[in-house]
Structure 1
Amino acid sequence: MFNYTRRTSSEVQIGTTPMGGVRPIRIQSMANVSTMDTEAAVDQAVRLIEAGAEYVRFTAQGEREALNLGEIRKRLNDLGYTTPLVADIHFNPKAADVAAYQIEKVRINPGNYVDRVKTFSRIEYTDEEYAAEVEKIRKRLLPFLAICKAEHTAIRIGVNHGSLSDRIMSRYGDTPQGMVASCMEFLRICREEEFPNVVISIKASNTVVMVQTVRLLVQTMAAEDMHYPLHLGVTEAGDGEDGRIKSAVGIGTLLSDGIGDTIRVSLSEEPEAEMPVARKLVDYIREREGHEPIEGKLSAGYDPIFPARRISRAIRNIGGGQPPVVISDRTQGSFEMNPSLLPDYLYIGKEDPDNLPDHLPLLVDSHFWKKRPACYPCFIACEAEEMAHFDTEMKFLRINSLELTDRLIELIKADPSVVLVLSTIHRNGVGAQRAAIHRLIDAGCDAPIVLQRDYYEPDPEALQVKAGADLGTLLLDGFGDGILLYNEIGDPVALDNCMFGILQAARVRISKTEYISCPGCGRTLFNLQETIARVKEATSHLKGLKIGIMGCIVNGPGEMADADYGYVGAGRNRISLYKGKACVLKNIPEEEAVERLVALIKENGDWHNE
């Protein structure tokens, strides 16, 4: 929780590239071309491998596609590429059997390997009936495991939030417990059959659900002495900045816990674009290895798997269960802003507040503070004793985690107007900030806490990855009444956008339309990237609305379970539209679908003009 160390997992042999154990965290991606287009598949695999992919996955809808994976494997071998290939199987156990003869690894989905197609129907099972359904899984899985043993093929048991079976949903609901139960049914069979060559993934598009579920799975496996390696990913993360931030929040949180042996950053872009994002995230987390030890202990009653939000007192619009605020550092003198994402406060340091408009809420260093509307003093640790002499409804104390002392805690508790701005200079900043916050909780300090992180990062993508992982981890821990980012060479407007993106990805503050969009694969029969751009152009002003854009039916309705509207591929150039979980328009021509989606939103009263 406080000191970074990787979870000890078992090693799994996947062709020439083993995973788990002491092996490095692997990065991978999935092709989005047809598996039957051998030339395109080989070309894309080569591009992915050259971009850094250590495993390349292809969809295999049926036995024909599964068989052609062998030809793709042969062509790549002839070109000198031995990177392992993975088959992605849904609904078709026979295709999994065929694929296991062709390539190094096969992914199966417990939600649709044997269980009937998801209908969102509630079915009541007696214990005997439920056990009989699990026995059906065993009978179908055993021949597959026998092939994999003989061929030295690894498998991934890949649970998706969006494709839990009706059987699991009926007993456990749409919950982390249900996802873990679905996974454990298959793991127990693998162990009983002495098949150890297993990797697990358990994914969701909701970062809160994804993180809670993986943590619960790790705990459940440990209780049964299982140590299988884990594949991490946020499904349907989207594209652009939002997709990168959402992936960094979900994957980065678990990597910060030492969990994860391979990752995929799922972007609705060309798959090669995923590689640098994944590499930056893994390399950034690995910088924590061998850090100075952090003394910390969990506060009383804290649940690390299902954490509740820390209780803090309200000071104006900060704390007290209100959405976290965004504080924008403007000490470099730029006051340009994005009118769609205005920060709640501006920190101006030593700037004279009289030089700025009265309506801007300002944070000013204490020695330059003036008593005027919406202007609040900021103190540093050595000035903390002076705070009591400032008559103002709100004041800020800026400290790094190493400066937190018992005396400072006393001063913070004694002044109900203090907001703590907590930064860090530790190499494992997440662990250091965690330790400080747990210490404050145990001391009975309920002051609001603004989480601050400082960077020197010229690469916008790297900044999104680092800040998403650092701040997202603490927000998903239930901490943070506000956030503040500083980048010595950064654009403050870009930093503001990044902060709002992190809060939305962590699901603690919604400030724009949310798009749940998959990366596409060989099952997608329309131009996903162009479609996402058209949907965004038409709907990006609908703040708070959630719209799913899915390439096919495999995970579509499930992953969109909490979406307001859905746009799902239904066949070649055909689209179905959803309102919530209900399919309301089927097989619409692709060229009409965005217009019909807008009409559907208007019909249901969720439209407003820009």
Structure 2
Amino acid sequence: MTDLFNYERRATHEVQVGATPMGAANPIRIQSMTNTPTRDTEASVAQAKRIIDAGGEYVRLTTQGVAEAENLRNINAALRSQGYLTPLVADVHFNPKVAEVAALYAEKVRINPGNYVDAARTFKHLEYTDEEYARELEKIRARFVPLLDICKANHTALRIGVNHGSLSDRIMSRYGDTPEGMVESCMEFLRICVEENFRDVVVSIKASNTVVMVKTVRLMAAVMEREGMDFPLHLGVTEAGDGEDGRIKSALGIGALLADGLGDTIRVSLSEEPEAEIPVARKLVDHVLARQGHPYIPGQAPASFDYLSPVRRRTRAVGNIGGENVPVVIAEGIVERTEVNPQFQPDYIYAARALPEKREACGYILDADCWSGEVGTYPAFMPSGEGDEPLFLKLMQCPAPMKFLFLTYMACDDEMLALLRHHPEVVVIAQSNHPNRLGELRGLVHQLTCAGLENPVVMFEHYDERDAEDLQIKAAADLGALLFDGLCDGIFLYNQGTLPSTVVDATAFGILQAARVRTSKTEYIACPSCGRTLFDLQDTLARIKAATAHLKGLKIGVMGCIVNGPGEMADADYGYVGAGRGRVSLYRRKECVEKNIPAEEAVDKLLELIRRDRGE
């Protein structure tokens, strides 16, 4: 069982991947994937070297067909001759024969249960009797065991990689588009591995929707534990996009799982050059692992909390905080905020001891002893120190309809719980200086719930960052599990570094959007590109973002090929999917509305479709 309050890596067995084993006591491995044609030996070797030089410990290459799989031999040999011993991973979809060839020349082979034996997804509903379904499983066994035999003979590891966007019609028809279906898709193959005594297996379950991804990986780990399996996990958020969005979405999803000890290797999938993924992944892993060996946190979760299927904690709304309201953003305003982005206007600004001369269009929070009762301002209290007037008197004497209280887990004793019970108008600002802040913040909110309290909670996270990427990665990783657990009614990012307030505000709103709890801008579901990509994905994504970034609340999928395309962007409003070399198909939700458009015309066609639908 996962310890919600104390960091410890999940126990797994070691999987041998070439000369770089993973799982067990090995470091959390970092990897990326080439986007060069795998038939092009020179280009693939050059890009693999850039990934390795950046710190990549595994390099994955797409193998669409047998020719690409066979060319892994040349790529592998060229790298080894130049002193690069990093294991290569073949990425296989649709064709078991390709996997069998790739297993001869790569240190690991990735197969997708959604299309290894089952036909490609068509969104058709299929009806099976139990006997017919059992026969389908036998087909999987018959086609899968020969690959296991080849892997055994060649000491090749296997990755069973489930993607939310490519679940088969068979799984979808029986289990629906659910985490349970994704897990069962993987377990069908894992059970065969166990029966065949093949243990060099890594499991991955990915989605572009961070909520689905986190919930499914948690369930996957629980189901494996229930069935006596301890296979290592590979983590990633598919189609995360580029820039700030890609970093926040990846750190939020991957970080939430790493923080709970899940994950033995990760890939941060960015729509950028593959080597750019490696330093982001390294920062994320290092940040989470810094909490190892921390002082013990004696937290207790309420019986009502379901880690595998969490719902938002029940709270009583105070103003626009808690209840059914979207999580709020509180910004730091002790130093004059010289820049404001109207798209990311905070709900409240904590001004400490004095209101600024120039006020923004939001509420202001002042230290209670400086609060005068001015409309649109609210008092913030601290637990009483020695010699202070008791907190209960301060709260009782203050007429404000909404009050804020900075509170730590250690200060939340029985007296404090009684105080909060008598003051439902208090919003708790939860803070921690513990090495494992997540554990303490979880502990505080669960303590409130166990006491039957419904005060809203805003999570305070403090940093001293001078680089926007560092703030995005750390804040997203720290807040991910709290948001997915439903414990968060707002976030307050306080950064002592030199970053402008606009960057901090955008990071806060980006985190809430990546967690799918508050929408403030257009969302892009964009794959990182690989050797299957059929157009210039980075340039295309930049053009689409430039033309649509002002359309708040819209979801647009930009997908390099059909492997995950229609499935992963199923909840997108519009989709742009590679259909052939230099050809693109456009989607409105799951419906293909235009096929095989020349790539040079496709962006304009997509924008025309959006404008037409919006009546512009």
TM-score (norm 1): 0.98
The reply to whether residue 15 of structure 1 matches residue 18 of structure 2 is: yes
Contact 2:310 2:485 in 1 (8 A): yes
Provide the residue aligned with 1:412 in structure 2. 420
Q: 1 CA distance for matches of 2:396 and 2:122?
A: 62
Provide the residue aligned with 2:564 in structure 1. 555
Q: 1 CA distance for matches of 2:512 and 2:581?
A: 37
Amino acid at match of 1:11: E
The reply to whether residue 348 of structure 1 matches residue 334 of structure 2 is: no
Amino acid at match of 1:476: F
Partner SS, residue 503 of structure 1: helix
Moved more, 592-601 or 442-451: 592-601
Of 325, 330, 346, 2:328 maps to 325
Of 281, 305, 308, 2:308 maps to 305
The reply to whether residue 362 of structure 1 matches residue 356 of structure 2 is: no
Q: 2 CA distance for matches of 1:458 and 1:406?
A: 40
Of 378, 384, 391, 1:384 maps to 391
Of 532, 542, 556, 1:533 maps to 542
Alignment of 1:599-610 (within 5 A): 599-605=608-614
Q: 1 CA distance for matches of 2:210 and 2:361?
A: 36
Contact 1:326 1:500 in 2 (8 A): yes
Amino acid at match of 1:185: E
Provide the residue aligned with 1:459 in structure 2. 467
Provide the residue aligned with 2:387 in structure 1. none
Partner SS, residue 450 of structure 1: strand
Q: 2 CA distance for matches of 1:359 and 1:72?
A: 58
Contact 1:160 1:203 in 2 (8 A): yes
Moved more, 595-604 or 187-196: 595-604
Shift in Å at residue 563 of structure 1?
0.7
Q: 2 CA distance for matches of 1:70 and 1:518?
A: 27
Contact 1:384 1:408 in 2 (8 A): no
Of 59, 63, 72, 1:56 maps to 59
Contact 1:326 1:345 in 2 (8 A): yes
Of 18, 30, 33, 1:27 maps to 30
Contact 2:237 2:268 in 1 (8 A): yes
Q: 2 CA distance for matches of 1:319 and 1:203?
A: 30
Provide the residue aligned with 1:202 in structure 2. 205
Of 247, 265, 275, 1:262 maps to 265
Q: 2 CA distance for matches of 1:396 and 1:191?
A: 54
Residue deviations 1:99-128 (CA, integer Å, cap 9, x gap): 000110000000000001110000001111
Contact 1:384 1:397 in 2 (8 A): no
Of 492, 500, 512, 1:484 maps to 492
Q: 2 CA distance for matches of 1:142 and 1:300?
A: 43
The reply to whether residue 518 of structure 1 matches residue 521 of structure 2 is: no
Residue deviations 1:228-269 (CA, integer Å, cap 9, x gap): 000000000110011000001100000011000000000000
Provide the residue aligned with 1:296 in structure 2. 299
Shift in Å at residue 392 of structure 1?
1.1
Partner SS, residue 411 of structure 1: helix
Shift in Å at residue 356 of structure 1?
4.0
Of 544, 547, 552, 2:553 maps to 544
Contact 2:408 2:444 in 1 (8 A): no
Contact 1:352 1:368 in 2 (8 A): no
Alignment of 1:59-78 (within 5 A): 59-78=62-81
Partner SS, residue 397 of structure 1: strand
Amino acid at match of 1:419: V
Q: How many residues matched?
A: 606
Distance 1:494 1:358, change over 3 A: closer
Provide the alpha-carbon RMSD of the alignment.
1.1
Shift in Å at residue 491 of structure 1?
2.0
Contact 1:402 1:424 in 2 (8 A): no
Partner SS, residue 196 of structure 1: coil
Amino acid at match of 2:391: A
Provide the residue aligned with 1:400 in structure 2. 408
Distance 1:144 1:545, change over 3 A: same
Provide the residue aligned with 1:475 in structure 2. 483
Moved more, 481-490 or 78-87: 481-490
Residue deviations 1:286-339 (CA, integer Å, cap 9, x gap): 111100000011112110011010011111111112100000111122242111
Unaligned runs of 5+ in 1: none
The reply to whether residue 225 of structure 1 matches residue 234 of structure 2 is: no
Provide the residue aligned with 2:255 in structure 1. 252
Provide the residue aligned with 1:239 in structure 2. 242
Where do 4+ consecutive residues of structure 1 move more than 4 Å? none
Q: 2 CA distance for matches of 1:336 and 1:81?
A: 48
Shift in Å at residue 360 of structure 1?
3.7
Shift in Å at residue 61 of structure 1?
0.1
Partner SS, residue 346 of structure 2: coil
Moved more, 227-236 or 312-321: 312-321
Q: 2 CA distance for matches of 1:226 and 1:126?
A: 29
Shift in Å at residue 359 of structure 1?
4.8
Partner SS, residue 80 of structure 2: helix
Of 235, 259, 275, 2:278 maps to 275
Shift in Å at residue 387 of structure 1?
1.6
The reply to whether residue 151 of structure 1 matches residue 154 of structure 2 is: yes
Shift in Å at residue 358 of structure 1?
8.2
Of 79, 82, 95, 2:82 maps to 79
Contact 1:512 1:544 in 2 (8 A): yes
Of 166, 186, 190, 1:187 maps to 190
Partner SS, residue 381 of structure 1: coil
Contact 1:86 1:106 in 2 (8 A): yes
Unaligned runs of 5+ in 2: 385-389
